[in-house]
């Protein structure tokens, strides 16, 4: 369960339907070209929170079938509809996903006891392992070290996908929990996570440059931090441009330019602006993506 995981992008058509063949192409690119160690399925990058339960199941199913055991699979099943989270957790567990993950419940100001109950309910109903998905910038849920302590008491909580820039907290978690899996969540900060001793990283941009992320991660593990930093500079030149042009739209357009059918994003996100196509083609050329 260690290494670089792409947070899987999901191709949609103009009507918001999943492009099944395109999804298979995106998966194959991740495995065969980017050579990532695993896929994080139905996360933010999968536009999960805009999908129906059936669409989420279909994505779990296609991904499991296409990967056929080649890489590790984490199923993000979190939902503020706990019944849905349980249903998806059971579905992914039966398919054979290596672990579940669930975003902290958001929108309402849930108490910590409610958050704890949410995780325990999914774990008890599925019997599967759980990776907490902490992303305070989007959920508004910022857990304290003491709250992580409580959740980590459950041995089925095997780790955390830590999408935060609080490296003091990351260091504290690493020191206190050497045996829990910690995944770095912000691709542009991968090197800081790597020197903090994370077990892996999960990110959207690894769909287009997972190979660079692997280099950073491996260089740091071999003590070649200065070289890793050079690669992070390159990765961040790409990410900076992607963020400027529009995150998921641009990642998909890069894949489209390369001949991988990544489709478009799901409304209410707005589709890629064709006026930006030339900038994307230049990005692909300049960085040999
Ligand atoms: O699917 C997912 O849950 C993610 O990709 C989460 C991951 O932390 C990404 N965050 C978001 C909100 O997309 C990052 O990979 C992020 O896209 C990247 O660092 C660019 O900012």
Dump the DSSP string for 154-182: STTEEEEEE--S-HHHHHHHHHH-TTSEE
Cβ distance 23 to 57 under 8 Å? no
For 183, the token pair is 């995944």
pLDDT band at 220 (very low <50, low <70, confident <90, very high): very high
- Centre of ligand 1 to C-alpha 185, Å, is 6
C-alpha 32/C-alpha 77 separation (Å) is 26
Mean pLDDT of 19-46: 98
Closest to 101 (Cα-Cα) out of 85, 134, 77: 77
Q: Which pLDDT band, with edges at 50, 70 and 90, does 125 fall under?
A: very high
**Omega cis (within 30) before 268:** yes
Residue 10: per-residue pLDDT: 98
Question: Could you tell me the distance, in angstroms and rounded to a whole number, from the CA of residue 60 to the centre of ligand 1?
Answer: 19
Q: Annotated catalytic residue: which of 56, 72, 161, 214?
A: 161
Q: Does any ligand 1 atom lie closer than 6 A to the CB of residue 185?
A: yes
Is residue 248 flagged as an active site residue?
A: no
Ligand 1 in contact with 119 (CB < 6 A)?
no
What pLDDT is recorded for position 274? 96
* Ligand 1 neighbourhood includes 7 CB (under 6 angstroms): yes
Atom of ligand 1 nearest to the CA of 137: 12
Q: Is 203 in the pocket of ligand 1 (CB under 6 A)?
A: yes
SS3 199: coil
- CA 114 to ligand 1 center in whole angstroms: 25
pLDDT at 39: 98
Q: Distance between CA atoms of 132 and 119, rounded to whole angstroms? A: 8
Mutate to test the pocket of ligand 1, among 34, 45, 60, 209 (most ligand atoms within 8 A of CB): 45
The stretch 144-162 carries a mean pLDDT of 97
Query: How would residue 162 be classed by pLDDT, with cut points 50, 70 and 90?
Result: very high
* Band of pLDDT at residue 69, cut at 50, 70 and 90: very high
pLDDT value at position 196?
97
Give, for 88, the enclosing helix (H) or strand (E).
helix 82-95
Residue-level pLDDT at 177: 97
**Quick one: what percent of the chain has pLDDT higher than 90?**
100
Averaged over 105-122, what is the pLDDT?
97
Q: What dotted CATH number matches 3-286? A: 3.20.20.70
Averaged pLDDT for residues 147-169: 97
Active site (annotated) includes residue 133: yes
CA distance 169 to 145: 7
**pLDDT score, position 266:** 97
Which residue ranges make up each domain of the chain?
3-286
* Annotated catalytic residue within 91, 97, 119, 133: 133
State the distance from the centre of ligand 1 to the C-alpha of 163, rounded, in angstroms. 8
The reply, when asked if residue 188 is annotated as ligand binding, is yes
39 Cβ below 6 A of ligand 1 = no
Q: Read off the pLDDT of each residue in 174-196 and give the average, rounded to a whole number.
A: 98
């Amino acid at each position: 369960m260690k290494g670089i995981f792409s947070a899987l992008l999901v191709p949609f058509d103009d009507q918001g339907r999943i492009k099944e063949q395109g999804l298979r192409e995106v998966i194959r690119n991740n495995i065969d070209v980017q050579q990532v160690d695993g896929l994080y399925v139905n996360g933010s990058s999968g536009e999960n929170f805009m999908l129906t339960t059936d669409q989420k199941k279909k994505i779990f199913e296609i991904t499991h079938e296409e990967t056929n055991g080649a890489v590790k699979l984490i199923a993000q099943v979190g939902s503020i509809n706990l019944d849905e989270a349980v249903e998806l957790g059971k579905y992914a567990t039966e398919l054979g996903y290596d672990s579940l993950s669930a975003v902290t419940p958001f929108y309402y100001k849930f108490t910590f006891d409610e958050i704890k109950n949410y995780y325990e309910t999914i774990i008890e109903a599925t019997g599967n392992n759980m990776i907490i998905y902490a992303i305070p910038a989007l959920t508004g849920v910022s857990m304290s070290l003491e709250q992580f302590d409580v959740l980590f008491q459950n041995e089925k909580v095997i780790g955390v996908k830590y999408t935060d820039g609080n490296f003091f907290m990351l260091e504290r978690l690493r020191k206190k929990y050497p045996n829990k899996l910690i995944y770095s969540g912000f691709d542009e900060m991968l090197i800081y996570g790597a020197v903090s001793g994370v077990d892996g990283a999960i990110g959207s941009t690894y769909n287009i440059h997972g190979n660079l992320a692997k280099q950073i991660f491996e260089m740091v593990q071999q003590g070649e931090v200065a070289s890793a930093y050079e690669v992070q500079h390159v990765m961040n030149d790409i990410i900076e441009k992607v963020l400027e042009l529009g995150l998921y739209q641009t990642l998909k357009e890069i894949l489209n330019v390369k001949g991988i059918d990544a489709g478009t994003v799901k409304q209410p996100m707005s589709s890629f602006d064709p006026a930006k196509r030339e900038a994307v083609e230049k990005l692909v050329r300049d960085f040999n993506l």
